[in-house]
Structure 1
């Protein structure tokens, strides 16, 4: 069977990815602080394999212990391929350099960069079958936005991590693949957080508000469908930074 691990599946894009993976017949393990009741109900109404692992991605110990639990849970599942969707992310702090709260900075760096790196590292170390790793990135990783110096930097970092790991796996002759994916601007709780910031902290605030007002935000379900078509039905190019507009 094919097994997918999805971080941040309690809401937004992660929830859409996990639900559509279940519909596609994959086993799904989700990893986040809170459960998704809809996913649990869907799994109860079918024979599909689904398990939620409660984990605080801001905690190194939580990540290590949860990944070990996942590995044990997958031992008897006869897995042929593992898909990892590093989706969980936070947007705060939205602030100019000189005004950044250091606790927010550390939390952001842990969730947006350290956590996906740690999870990828542990998976590659333990996996006995081919792994397809998908890091959810952003156009913010390619261009600066005032007030987003931390978010921009972490998304740029995850893109470079993706490219470097792809190079390493190719050199090692493994079957593992890794990509980054920019989902575009979606109608998610993260967008609500952005719209609640101040113009002093984020000069593009009015433009982001207009995306909602003009109906320009894409639905997470539509984005998840395009991404899963790539992952499950097409040949992923390892190390590539994909954009929703390309799919």
Structure 2
């Protein structure tokens, strides 16, 4: 686990700082760390093994010229250390990734570092982490965010609503898209459209086979899969539910993403393909809504699937990631379905009509861009459920 230290937690760093830069006394380090209290342009991230701090990264925004850079500010790796007994487990890479993500969120598109000329081991580590040598001092620079984070993205339910917004968002950034939908969509450059109805038995696995063939054709190694396809029907009270529509909802909302993720992990086993799975969820997965027993249940199920899969990946120290994304309320066809429900079946009907009338529904493209920026920013936390409101805060 990696956490960002708060101002009152800097004492945790003392043994780690001494491991990286020996020679200073604890009081000298404490005096130095006081200078970082309240500094919004600096951050410390610590890697933990249970309750023991085993490594850290220090990142700072540099606004003066950074060797090899072409922008400002530049995120700068001021320090990186992992306890000798815990090395070669990918911890340093994760510490750098969270530092890059922090810098990217503050407007940086480049990330710098430097090492001493004689420190060949550190130079080799920087190059493994994607840095490019900028000068023989040795200074390093790398681009962060953007298309380097993925080679292609797979989107289910890609022909309308949030799915359509996601396709536009990624194509705009030059990311190849493999779209899966049950209805035809307009031909677009950079988009491979696959027609599959994920509510039909056996189709999710057939679709996955086709997707994997396309991934191999592209030669993609970093693949993001967004399980966006979803249905809200049936909206009805328990006792009045249509059995066929109930079964369809579970096939699309739960079975399809679980089956496809399971199959993709099997395909990726033994390869160097790194998967990031995003399950699109809803606030309905964590609170009961009268008339929504089916939708509530399917989203609660996909939330738990996300958390368990994330836990398992962390335990196995896998490079794959599984997260969930709550897009909030959007102006989509699903909202139209909600507003067309009967008041008898759906007690909160008036509130959803009011959201539309007041213009409080976000556009699918706004929500899509927020997810894209999260993924471009770098490493995401396994099992985490990300909320669009948090991602758009301050924007």
TM-score under structure 2 length normalisation: 0.59
4+ long deviations beyond 4 Å: none
The CA distance in 1 between the partners of 2:388 and 2:218, in whole Å, is: 32
The CA distance in 1 between the partners of 2:214 and 2:285, in whole Å, is: 34
Q: Is the 8 A contact 1:15 1:36 kept in 2?
A: no
The CA distance in 2 between the partners of 1:22 and 1:60, in whole Å, is: 31
Q: Choose from 117, 120, 141 the match for 2:285.
A: 141
The CA distance in 2 between the partners of 1:67 and 1:87, in whole Å, is: 15
Q: Choose from 372, 375, 379 the match for 1:235.
A: 379
The alignment partner of 1:6 has SS state of strand
The CA distance in 2 between the partners of 1:76 and 1:196, in whole Å, is: 43
Q: Choose from 260, 277, 288 the match for 1:119.
A: 260
Q: Deviations over 1:134-182 (max 9, x none)?
A: 1000000111100000100110110000000011111222100111111
Q: How many residues align?
A: 239
2:172 maps to 1:23: yes
Structure with greater helix share of residues = 1
The CA distance in 2 between the partners of 1:70 and 1:238, in whole Å, is: 23
2:330 maps to 1:181: no
Counterpart in 1 of 2:303?
A: 159
Counterpart in 1 of 2:236?
A: 95
Offset of residue 235 of structure 1: 2.6
Q: Is the 8 A contact 1:138 1:155 kept in 2?
A: yes
The CA distance in 2 between the partners of 1:242 and 1:69, in whole Å, is: 29
The CA distance in 1 between the partners of 2:153 and 2:201, in whole Å, is: 22
Offset of residue 74 of structure 1: 2.2
Name which structure has the greater RCO, CA cutoff 8 Å, separation 6+: 1
Counterpart in 2 of 1:220?
A: 364
Structure with greater strand share of residues = 2
Offset of residue 60 of structure 1: 2.8
Offset of residue 27 of structure 1: 1.3
Q: Deviations over 1:18-60 (max 9, x none)?
A: 11111111111011101221xx23x1xxxx3x21111011113
The CA distance in 2 between the partners of 1:170 and 1:202, in whole Å, is: 40
2:179 maps to 1:35: no
Q: Is the 8 A contact 2:231 2:252 kept in 1?
A: yes
Offset of residue 187 of structure 1: 0.1
The CA distance in 1 between the partners of 2:328 and 2:202, in whole Å, is: 32
The CA distance in 2 between the partners of 1:243 and 1:100, in whole Å, is: 30
The CA distance in 1 between the partners of 2:351 and 2:216, in whole Å, is: 48
TM-score under structure 1 length normalisation: 0.94
The alignment partner of 2:202 has SS state of helix
The alignment partner of 1:230 has SS state of helix
Is the deviation greater in 123-132 or in 66-75? 66-75
Larger radius of gyration, structure 1 or 2?
Answer: 2
Unmatched 5+ stretches in structure 1: none
Counterpart in 2 of 1:82?
A: 223
Counterpart in 1 of 2:67?
A: none
Offset of residue 80 of structure 1: 2.1
The alignment partner of 2:359 has SS state of coil
